[in-house]
Amino acid sequence: MSVGAKAISRERSFVHDAEKLLLGNGEVFHGETILAVTKALLQSGVSYVGGYPGAPVSHLMDVLADARDTVLKPYDIYFEQSASEAGAAALLATSISYPLRGAVTWKSIVGTNVASDALSNVASCGVVGGALVLVGEDYGEGASVIQERTHSMAMKSSIPLIDPRYDMQKIVDLTEQAFEMSEAGNLPVFMSLRIRACHMTGSFVCKENRPSATKTRNAPLLAGPDRRSIPLPPTSFTDEQAKIEQRLPAVRRFIRERGMNEHMAGAGHRFGVILQGGTYGVVMRALARLGLADGFGACEVPLLVLNVIHPLVPEEITDFLAGKDSVLVVEEGHPALIENQVRAFAQEAGLSCRVYGKDTIPTTGEYIAGVVRAGLAAYLAAAAPKDIVAPALARNAAIAGNVQAARARAAAQPLPPRPPSFCTGCPERPIFTALKLIMRERGHLHISLDIGCSTFAALAPLNVGNTVVGYGLSLASGGPIAAALNQPTIAVMGDGAFWHNGLTSGAVNAQWQGMDAVLIVLENGYASATGQQHVPSTGASPIGQPSQVSIEKTLRGIGVSWIRRVDSYDLTETMAGLRAALDQRGPNLRVVISGNECMLAKKRRERLAAPKAAAPERRERYGVDAEVCTGDHSCIRLNGCPSLTLKPTQDPLKDGPTAHVDNSCAACDLCGEVAQAAQLCPSFYKAEGLVNPGPVRRLAARLNDRLLVWMGAS
């Protein structure tokens, strides 16, 4: 499939946001933090920006893609939406040899894992131009990925890690200082931005954007390669020594000289809190609930806010510990990397200050306000003078009682579960309906899923799919299992996963190894799970230039000969294609491609293409005849569309709710297809309506209404 580049570029426009990137010295920026960070990159004079889209940093990529003529060209900035996080990290090699500043971005630890090889080499070689990695940290109950942190990766590779306090001016200042710190220590720098930080709105006073340092602007670029930048022995050994003995100490000096971490003295008590910058907001909220802080940042409890959590500066820690009987370390996640270092610093300095941490606040999980408030109260009860904290403990007891009562009331009327699901009319859902029907015929099939929208198939009501181990790795993960079960390796991946890693690790490997495998590619045209960003097969580049790389031609280029395209909305055709692929046993890869466009993107594009005048428009939707519906609900178990739901029955002879299709129906035809293919009850019907009818149609409708009234009366 191919969608015109012109239509795509107009479909989701960020031009208005891009205009904020041009604000000058003294002007005030208002907006989201992730856009403010983008402005800070320009104020720092970046020469290149790359990355792979993912929450919560996708907006940075989206805005720059729409700012080609207003920002990228005038400031000589190279921009790309990289093929993967590894490709984005590889861009940092530019800063190894040349005094060019650059930034790359991706989603959380999963992106950092993919990029780890390049990051390790960049950190080992060192940089001469500032290199910044913006990581959209996705940790906690609302996260969509595995629960790990970037902190351990930063420590492993000796990469400084900034975890900024949630203040927009502070985040902008730290972004600019990150480039200076990178150049001071000749190391790339991580900046971790949590979801709440990225979507926080606020303001800051802007500076002028700095043109990038490029050859056209007479930058002092090196004349030739530097062999010290190649990580081969003995250079790799001396690089390791330099990181520990020279670069990290230089970073520590920079942190202290610039005051990147913040000491808030409070009321000078002999107890205090050491916290990550990213937890500052929730700690202050908890202290305010306990009556020890106000809403304007004034706090009675001494605080050491670590905006840089790696490397820690021992002198800053010991200075804060001196004169205190105890401190609480508020550190989100496991293991307790900061807490353990604080204990080591205290022991080395001979301080008797007791360190509380994971023994007081939960070891795992996101530090939301209630969790931190309870942990702070427990610490104060154990370590602070009773006359000082008695009112705080009384407040905490009252709050805890109210929370417990509210939970008891909620338990009496629990909310129904609402797992993530495919969008209404999604072209990927019918594929899993077809697989579920085939398994009803043939028995269990082990199906390897991938990262992306298709992962929702593993949840109710479809319950299709067994494993997910990484982006683009579904086909690579199934070989041993298929051999054990004596069935073909079956893998499903979207087109984003295919281009990210599925082509090389999956399709090429399967063809090379002679695997008995079936690959189902859901080519919906976009990286849909991250916001309909472009992929190589979309039909246009991220900046809207016509460009398309064909999945089918690529597969044929590596020797795959069995390829069949199906219309996923045609369930009979889809099931026939899947059956044929499963029956064609042997040492060869068979590929089934579903090529229907993402429904969200399609609807946006159609609305833009629709005429502005109120012309007659025919619309369709499905419905359920409540009198015919038996209440079996097989339709829901085989479909799972959000528009297909339940409503109370009006029939006293039925003891349960009936199926119902609400007004969000996109008329994708899957309901009718399922009813036919699965031989369900014939309660579904398809209705057609006319919006903005002409005068003749209006007259005919009035006559029909009167005729029906007359017939009913007679």
Contacts of 452 (CB under 8 A, 6+ apart): 471, 493, 494, 496, 497, 522, 527, 528, 529
In a domain, 495, yes or no: yes
Is there a contact between 107 and 52 (Cβ–Cβ < 8 Å)? Answer: yes
Least confident range from 70-79, 281-290, 620-629: namely: 620-629
pLDDT above 80: residue 214:
no
Q: Last residue of a domain, which of 369, 385, 412?
A: 412
CA distances in angstroms from 224 to 115, 128, 229, 239, listed in the order given: 27, 14, 12, 20
Contacts of 58 (CB under 8 A, 6+ apart): 136, 530, 531, 533
In a domain, 213, yes or no: no
Q: Return the pLDDT at 9.
A: 40
In a domain, 424, yes or no: no
Q: Return the pLDDT at 590.
A: 97
Together in a domain, 280 and 396: yes
CA angle 545/546/547 to nearest 5° reads 110
The b-or-e profile of 561-577 (16+ CB within 10 A means b, else e) is eebeebbbbbbebbbeb
Q: Last residue of a domain, which of 361, 387, 412?
A: 412
pLDDT above 70: residue 714:
no
pLDDT-derived band at 708 (thresholds 50, 70, 90) equals confident
Q: Would you list the DSSP string of 228-291?
A: GGS--TTHHHHHHHHIIIIIHHHHHHHHHHHT-SEEE-TT--SEEEEEEGGGHHHHHHHHHHTT
pLDDT above 90: residue 140:
no
From the number of C-beta atoms within 10 Å of its C-beta (0-12, 13-18, 19+), residue 359 rates as: middle
C-beta neighbour count of 169 within 10 angstroms: 13
Instruction: Report the DSSP beta bridge partners of residue 539.
Output: 547
Q: Return the pLDDT at 709.
A: 84
Contacts of 298 (CB under 8 A, 6+ apart): none
What does DSSP say about strands 262-264 and 546-547: parallel, antiparallel, or unpaired?
Answer: unpaired
pLDDT-derived band at 226 (thresholds 50, 70, 90) equals low
- The domain in which residue 180 lies consists of 23-207+226-257
pLDDT above 80: residue 678:
no
Structure tokens at 235: 């250079």
Together in a domain, 483 and 401: no
Distance, CA of 417 to CA of 13 (rounded, Å)? 35
Together in a domain, 253 and 265: no
Q: Return the pLDDT at 217.
A: 54
Q: Identify the H or E element spanning 513.
A: helix 509-513
Q: Considering the entire predicted model, what is its pTM?
A: 0.89
CA angle 366/369/374 to nearest 5° reads 100
The b-or-e profile of 54-72 (16+ CB within 10 A means b, else e) is bbbbbbbbbbbbbbbeebb
Together in a domain, 632 and 561: no
Is there a contact between 3 and 539 (Cβ–Cβ < 8 Å)? Answer: yes
Average pLDDT over residues 425-447: 94
Task: Give 224's Cβ-side CA count (13 Å radius).
Answer: 1
Together in a domain, 271 and 253: no
Distance, CA of 465 to CA of 458 (rounded, Å)? 5
Residue in 223, 214, 251, 221 with CA at minimum distance from that of residue 123:
251
Distance, CA of 274 to CA of 317 (rounded, Å)? 9
Q: What is the CATH number of the domain that holds 103?
A: 3.40.50.970
| Residues 90, 94, 97, 99, CA torsion sign | negative
Together in a domain, 244 and 384: no
In a domain, 578, yes or no: yes
Is there a contact between 427 and 597 (Cβ–Cβ < 8 Å)? Answer: yes
Together in a domain, 484 and 346: no
Kindly report, residue by residue over 446-467, the tens digit of the pLDDT: 999 999 999 999 998 899 999 9
In a domain, 577, yes or no: yes
Phi and psi, residue 593, nearest 5°: -110, 125
Distance, CA of 683 to CA of 674 (rounded, Å)? 12
Task: Give 599's Cβ-side CA count (13 Å radius).
Answer: 19
pLDDT above 50: residue 222:
yes
Q: Return the pLDDT at 632.
A: 80
Sheet holding 271-276, edge to edge: 262-264, 303-306, 271-276, 326-330, 354-356
Kindly report, residue by residue over 295-336, the tens digit of the pLDDT: 888 999 999 999 999 999 999 999 999 999 999 999 998 899
Give the total number of structural domains in the chain.
Answer: 4
What SS3 class is residue 660? strand
In a domain, 422, yes or no: no
Amino acid found at 656: G
Together in a domain, 182 and 313: no
Instruction: Report the DSSP beta bridge partners of residue 355.
Output: 327
Kindly report, residue by residue over 343-385, the tens digit of the pLDDT: 999 999 999 999 999 999 998 888 998 999 999 999 999 999 9
Together in a domain, 250 and 267: no
Residue in 82, 205, 192, 104 with CA at minimum distance from that of residue 148:
192
In a domain, 219, yes or no: no
Distance, CA of 274 to CA of 310 (rounded, Å)? 14
Average pLDDT over residues 96-101: 91
What does DSSP say about strands 161-162 and 308-310: parallel, antiparallel, or unpaired?
Answer: antiparallel
Distance, CA of 684 to CA of 659 (rounded, Å)? 9
Residue in 335, 342, 381 with CA at minimum distance from that of residue 358:
335
- Residue owning tokens 């999945």: 551
In a domain, 467, yes or no: yes
Instruction: Report the DSSP beta bridge partners of residue 359.
Output: none
Together in a domain, 554 and 574: yes
Q: Return the pLDDT at 4.
A: 39
pLDDT above 50: residue 444:
yes
Q: What percent of the chain has pLDDT over 90?
A: 60
CA angle 689/694/699 to nearest 5° reads 85
What SS3 class is residue 533? strand
Together in a domain, 598 and 664: no
Least confident range from 441-445, 568-572, 613-617: namely: 613-617
Q: Last residue of a domain, which of 579, 602, 625?
A: 602
CA distances in angstroms from 630 to 466, 552, 680, listed in the order given: 32, 44, 10
Phi and psi, residue 389, nearest 5°: -100, 0
Q: What is the CATH number of the domain that holds 310?
A: 3.40.50.920
Together in a domain, 295 and 383: yes
Q: Return the pLDDT at 610.
A: 66
